[in-house]
């Protein structure tokens, strides 16, 4: 009981997602008497379900394997993990034997507050787990879900359900730190799993700034309740359009920001263009047609947060000044001579 209370205390004190996940698997491994414990996250990029190992624990140590800014090493299709596939289908504990060791393997789904599965815990044990140990596992997972919900609450914009500005600052600093450590050419671990990689261009992180066109006119004509509804619907389109590993933020007002996971320029452009088109085609109640302008930029090795945001803002202003309802790349505008580097001269264009 003393060790269980110790682990409950450690888990409850975590305010960092990676540390929380590592604390969970360490507690599960010890309290279940297992050889190992792993926490797998379920990702939902368009067209497939992907699974990646976010944290694991053995007798020796617990490890954080998901840095929050890249795909965990070894991430692959759910079909490559038949025990997790069966666990998801059953929506309940699934027991089988681990290939190679023949240890007992227990896979347990992790559901959020809305009961949607977002991951799994996998335990391997020489001996079968009795009902008491399984009950302890269930209790620790319930505690973990509550801690995740509290972290989500502190990171989420209450109107749209997107991440908030404070969380953006943390993510961007982490990305810049990672890029500085690894260099400008991103290693394979930062890219999409192999079957989703392109093989020609280098993959980089990208930041996009998005602004609803003529949003002030929408508020003035239809009122702020309808304006809020437009913001919520835009956020919902974002959630369905971007990959689950891309980070989506509301900056306030009608401005949104996206941090794309490492990908090539052509893919980044296509991703933003797809979202722009989905917004344009969506029938907004009462308002009808709404459009959005987007400026995006590559996150480079020697960039600072202010430079990155300034670059994306310049591309956004160019999109606004040149017809709106379009996507503009800062680097492409530089190459075409449409902008000068760090030219911050935005004057009489109507943004809001």
172: enclosing H helix or E strand: helix 165-182
Which residues does 77 contact at the CB level (< 8 Å), separation at least 6? 48, 49, 50, 51, 193, 195
> Each residue of 285-308: b (16+ CB within 10 Å) or e?
eebeebebbbbbbbbbeebeeeeb
Beta carbons of 160 and 250 less than 8 angstroms apart: yes
Rounded to whole angstroms, the Cα distance separating 267 from 254 reads: 25
Rounded to whole angstroms, the Cα distance separating 75 from 53 reads: 7
Rounded to whole angstroms, the Cα distance separating 134 from 28 reads: 10
Does the active-site annotation cover 254? yes
What order of strands is seen across the sheet that includes strand 255-263?
247-252, 255-263, 204-212, 292-298, 327-329
Distance of CA 35 to the CA centre of its chain: 30
Q: Which of 261, 223, 222, 216 is nearest to 72 (CA)?
A: 261
Which residue is catalytic, options 21, 254, 264, 314?
A: 254
State residue 12 phi and psi, 5-degree precision: -65, -25
- DSSP symbol at 146: H
Give catalytic residues, as residue numbers: 254
């Amino acid at each position: 009981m003393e060790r269980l209370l110790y682990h409950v205390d450690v888990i409850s004190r975590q305010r960092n997602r990676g540390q929380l996940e590592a604390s969970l698997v360490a507690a599960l491994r010890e309290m279940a008497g297992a050889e190992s414990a792993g926490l797998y996250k379920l990702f939902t990029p368009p067209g497939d379900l992907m699974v990646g190992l976010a944290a694991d624990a053995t007798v020796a140590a617990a490890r954080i394997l998901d840095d929050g800014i890249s795909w965990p090493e070894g991430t692959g299709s759910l079909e490559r993990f038949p025990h997790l596939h069966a666990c998801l289908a059953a929506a309940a504990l699934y027991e089988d034997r681990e290939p190679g060791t023949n240890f007992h393997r227990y896979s347990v789904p992790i559901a959020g507050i809305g009961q949607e599965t977002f991951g799994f815990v996998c335990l391997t044990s020489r001996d079968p787990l009795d009902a008491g140990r399984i009950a302890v596992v269930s209790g620790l997972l319930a505690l973990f879900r509550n801690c995740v919900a509290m972290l989500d609450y502190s990171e989420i914009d209450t109107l749209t359900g997107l991440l908030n500005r404070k969380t953006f600052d943390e993510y961007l600093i982490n990305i810049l730190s990672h890029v500085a450590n690894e260099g400008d050419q991103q290693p394979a671990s930062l890219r999409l799993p192999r079957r989703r990689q392109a093989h020609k261009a280098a993959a980089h992180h990208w930041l996009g700034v998005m602004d609803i066109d003529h949003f002030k006119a929408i508020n003035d004509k239809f009122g702020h309740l309808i304006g809020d509804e437009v913001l919520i619907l835009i956020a919902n389109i974002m959630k369905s359009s971007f990959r689950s590993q891309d980070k989506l933020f509301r900056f306030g007002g009608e401005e949104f920001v996206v941090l794309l996971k490492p990908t090539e320029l052509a893919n980044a452009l296509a991703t933003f263009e797809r979202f722009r088109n989905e917004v344009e085609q969506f029938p907004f109640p009462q308002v009808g047609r709404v459009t959005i302008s987007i400026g995006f930029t590559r996150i480079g090795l020697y960039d600072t947060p202010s430079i990155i945001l300034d670059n994306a803002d310049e591309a956004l202003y160019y999109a606004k000044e040149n017809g709106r309802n379009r996507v503009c790349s800062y680097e492409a505008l530089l190459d075409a001579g449409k902008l000068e580097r760090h030219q911050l001269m935005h004057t009489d264009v109507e943004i809001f």
